[in-house]
Chains A and B, each alone.
Chain A
Amino acid sequence: MFELIADPSFAASIPRFVTPILLAALGGALCERAGVFNIALEGFLLVGAFAAVLGAYFSGTPYIGALTAMVAGMALGVVFAEFNVRRGGDSIVVSIAINLLAAGLTTFFLRAIFDVTGAFSDPAIAGFAPIRLPFIEDVPLLGPILSGQALPFYLALLSVPFLHVFLARHRLGLRIRAAGENPQALRAGGVSPKRVQLLALIACGALCGLGGAQLSIANVNLFVENMSAGRGWIAVVAVLLTRGRPWPLFFIALLFGAVDSLSFRVQGLGLAQQFTDMMPYLATLIVLVALSWWRARRAKGDAS
Chain B
Amino acid sequence: MMAFDTGKATRSALPWVFTFLWIAAIILALLLFVGAPVGEALSGFWNGAFGGRRNAYLMATLSRSALIVGMALSVMLSFRAGLFNIGGEGQLVAGGLVAALVAVLMPGPPLVVLVVAILAAMLAGALWALLAGVLQLFMGVPLLVGSLLLNYPIRYIASYLVAHPYRDVQSGMVQSHLVPQETWFAYFPGTRLDIGILFTAVAAAFALIYSYWTVHGYHTRLNGLSPDFARTVGLPVRRLTLQTLALSGAIAGMVGAIAVFGIHHRYIDGMLVQPLYAWTGIIAVLLVGMVPWAVPISGFFFAAVQTGAAGMERAAGVPKEIALVVQAVIILFVASRVSGALTTSRGDGDGHV
A residues bordering B, Cβ < 8 Å? 32, 37, 39, 79, 83-84, 87-90, 92-94, 96-101, 103-105, 107-108, 111-112, 230, 233, 236-237, 240-241, 243, 272, 274-275, 277-278, 281-282, 284-285, 288-289, 291-293, 295-296
Contacts and interface: CB of A to CB of B under 8 A. Distances in A.
Given A274-B156, A274-B160, A100 B324 contact: yes
Given A89-B339, A97-B328, A104-B328, A272 B353 contact: no
A112 B33 contact: yes
A288 B34 contact: no
A272 B332 contact: no
A236 B156 CA distance: 21
A291 to B, nearest CB: 7
Given A90-B342, A104-B327, A281 B149 contact: yes
A1 to B, nearest CB: 20
28 contacts: A88-B339, A89-B332, A89-B339, A90-B340, A90-B342, A92-B345, A96-B282, A96-B283, A97-B335, A98-B328, A98-B332, A100-B283, A104-B323, A104-B324, A108-B319, A108-B322, A108-B325, A111-B321, A230-B152, A237-B149, A240-B351, A282-B153, A284-B149, A285-B150, A288-B140, A288-B146, A289-B140, A291-B353
A90 B327 contact: no
B286 interface: yes
A293 B140 contact: yes
B119 interface: no
Contacts of B331: 93, 96-97, 100
A240 B353 contact: yes
A161 B93 CA distance: 42
Contact of A100 (B152, B279, B333): B279
A77 to B, nearest CB: 14
B267 interface: no
A293 B242 CA distance: 21
Contacts of B324: 100-101, 103-104, 107-108
Given A92-B84, A288-B141, A293-B140, A107 B321 contact: yes
Interface residues of B, number: 55
A289 B352 CA distance: 13
Contacts, number: 149
A83 B141 contact: no
A113 B30 CA distance: 12
Contacts of B91: none
B162 to A, nearest CB: 10
Nearest to B30: A108
Contacts of A99: 279
Contacts of A295: 140
A97 B283 contact: yes
A67 to B, nearest CB: 22
A53 to B, nearest CB: 16
A236 to B, nearest CB: 7
B153 A278 contact: yes
Interface in B226-244: none
A93 B156 contact: no
A280 to B, nearest CB: 8
Contacts of A288: 139-141, 145-146, 353
